[in-house]
Copies of this chain bind each other. A is one copy, B any other.
Amino acid sequence: MDQAAGDGPEAEALRASIAASPFHTGLGLRIDAASRGTVELSMDVTSDRLNLQGSVHGGVLATLADTAMGLAVRTEVGPDRPHATVEMSIRYLRASRPGRIEATGHTQRVGSTLAFAEADVRDADGRSLARASGIYAVGTRDAQ
Tell me the chain A residues, 1-59 only, with Cβ under 8 Å from chain B: 17, 21-23, 26, 47-53, 55, 57-59
Q: Taking CB as reference atom, which chain B residue is nearest A55?
A: B84
Of the residues B59, B87, B128, B137, contact of A59 by C-beta under 8 Å? B59
CA distance A118 to B118 in the complex (A): 11
If A59-B62, A66-B62, A85-B58 touch, whether A109 touches B135 (CB-CB below 8 Å) is no
B51/A22 in contact, CB under 8 A:
no
Residue A124 interfacial (CB < 8 Å): no
Q: How many copies of this chain are found per oligomer?
A: 4
Contact A58/B88 with A26-B48, A52-B21 known, Cβ cut-off 8 Å: yes
Interface size range on A against B: 35 or more
Point out the residues of chain B lying under 8 angstroms from A59, CB to CB: 59, 62-64, 66-67
Measured CB to CB, the residues of A under 8 A from B are: 17, 21-23, 26, 47-53, 55, 57-60, 62-64, 66-67, 70, 74, 79, 82-95, 108-109, 113-114, 116, 118, 128, 131, 133, 135, 137
